Structure 1
Amino acid sequence: MSDFKQVRVQQLDPLEEELAASSARGSLSHHALQPPSRAGSSAGCLSSGSALLLLQLLSLMVLAGLLVAVLAQVSRVPSSQGQEQELSKQKVCQELTQLKAGVDRLCRPCPWDWTFFRGHCYFFSKSQRNWNDSVTACQEMRAQLVVIKSAEEQNFLLQTFKNKGSTWMGLSDLNEEATWHWVDGSPLSPSLTYWNEGEPNNVGEEDCAEITDSGWNDAKCDAEKFWVCKTSSSSCPNT
């Protein structure tokens, strides 16, 4: 019995050795085909992630540079327009200054807003005052409330402020009733009067004269009416 077991053991030993060798070869092959460890894989992944992050940072830097360039260009546009507007203003001011200098060199017999007629200048008011205040207003402008010296002047006045309403002239009988004098002290000439029919009638102390569309009329001096100033015109030098 023991001899039989010994013989069987001897017969199995070569087989076991073959199986052991085959097992060893399979283990080596399995080890050779096994994928890399996780540590190596993580290192590779970290390298790829760093490259991607760097690329993203570079892209952001490029975009930031472009944005700065665009903003700089936009910021220069208003400044350029402002400079152009300033230059335009300066040019207009220079042209106005030159124009004013040219106008000043022109001879004007009357001030602005005054009307010239036969050697005299006339100012027609746009506001209303009583007779005494109208006299003062003309004096402040170095003129006098209009004194009418001719039929032509009378017609000129009527045509100029036609349909404007009653207007004070420099005639009154404040110093002596029924004795009319101009503001320059000269008496009213009987041959140069343009009273309306029935005037002056001195109804209710009417001591100041006004011009109406139809002629002269006496009125109360405290009534407010338009007024006309008159002064001599300036002489222009010969050029």
Structure 2
Amino acid sequence: MEMQDAAVKEEQREEDQGAYESLLTAQSKEGSDRAHYSELQKPSEDVYAEACFGATNKTQDKPPQGAMQCYRVGCLILTLVCLGLLVTVIVLVIKCGSTDCPENPVPQPYDMNQSKTCRSKGAPGCYCYSECPTGWLRLDKSCFYLSTFRLSWEKSQKNCSEEGGSLAVISSHKIQNFLTQKGKDIKYWIGLRLIGTTWTWLNNTVVGQSYWRDNVTQGDCGILSSGDQTENNWMKYSCRAYTYYICQLPLQTAILEV
């Protein structure tokens, strides 16, 4: 009887031991599963960083479309501004070209009907000579106009005076040579006339150096024959005769504003 009870107890103890080991095995497996699940729920910092920074780099490699459009518009505006400034500088450089002021200028009334510009690098207040009117030729401080039609001496002088000048007064060899070269083999009235027995210029000065031809003709007004040699191409003609004429206009002056 005692042997039987002991066998029963031993069998029961073995069953309890097996049940305990099974419980331990189940708990161990459950813990392993939880650890694996925890790793899936909380990925490593390296994986997280790679995902985040990888995405950031891809975004930086390709700027947004809106930013590109703004950049292009900004470049276009800047280019247009630069071109505008360049054109302004070029216009100012051309407009602000200069002619030097004379050292001892002689003030003259400024005729607004003549040249409208007086350009200078000199100090404000100095007198600057302007440009000749369109179609006139400049020599030093005078402008000359060689007509393209014929008139009498009196009518030629009237036309010249309406332009603010007079028939040409040849006061130097330089002017004589200049008008002879520009005349192109044409005969022109000049501001020379006979008053009494004296040949006088329109400015009432008596003729000093002269350039009369050897075969002097008869007349009371003077002509420059540009087809002849410079040293002897003045001729005498009747003031009522018709031929071309040369007007002379002094370069006007203006005072630079301060």
Tell me the TM-score normalized by structure 1.
Answer: 0.50
Deviation at 1:234, TM superposition (A): 2.9
The corresponding residue for 1:198 is 215
The corresponding residue for 1:113 is 135
Which secondary structure does the structure 1 equivalent of 2:203 belong to?
coil
CA contact under 8 A between 2:118 and 2:256: conserved in structure 1? no
- 1:185 corresponds to 2:204: yes
Distance, in Å, in 2 between the alignment partners of 1:179 and 1:131 is 18
The equivalences for 1:158-237 within 5 A come to 158-163=180-185, 165-173=186-194, 175-176=195-196, 178-189=197-208, 192-199=209-216, 201-202=217-218, 206-212=219-225, 213-214=227-228, 215-235=233-253
The corresponding residue for 1:70 is none
Segments of structure 2 that go 5 or more residues without pairing to the other structure are 1-90, 97-115, 120-129
Tell me the alpha carbon deviations over residues 3-24 of structure 1, each in whole angstroms, 9 at most, x when there is no partner: xxxxxxxxxxxxxxxxxxxxxx
Tell me the alpha carbon deviations over residues 127-164 of structure 1, each in whole angstroms, 9 at most, x when there is no partner: 1100000111111111010000100100000001122x
The sequence identity of aligned pairs, in percent, is 25
The structure having more radius of gyration, on CA atoms, is 1
AA of the residue aligned to 1:207? D
The corresponding residue for 1:136 is 158
Distance, in Å, in 1 between the alignment partners of 2:188 and 2:206 is 20
CA contact under 8 A between 1:144 and 1:230: conserved in structure 2? yes
Q: Select the residue among 167, 189, 214 that pairs with 1:145.
A: 167
Distance, in Å, in 2 between the alignment partners of 1:183 and 1:159 is 23
More helix by share: 1
Deviation at 1:106, TM superposition (A): 7.1
Tell me the alpha carbon deviations over residues 35-90 of structure 1, each in whole angstroms, 9 at most, x when there is no partner: xxxxxxxxxxxxxxxxxxxxxxxxxxxxxxxxxxxxxxxxxxxxxxxxxxxxxxxx
Which secondary structure does the structure 2 equivalent of 1:209 belong to?
strand
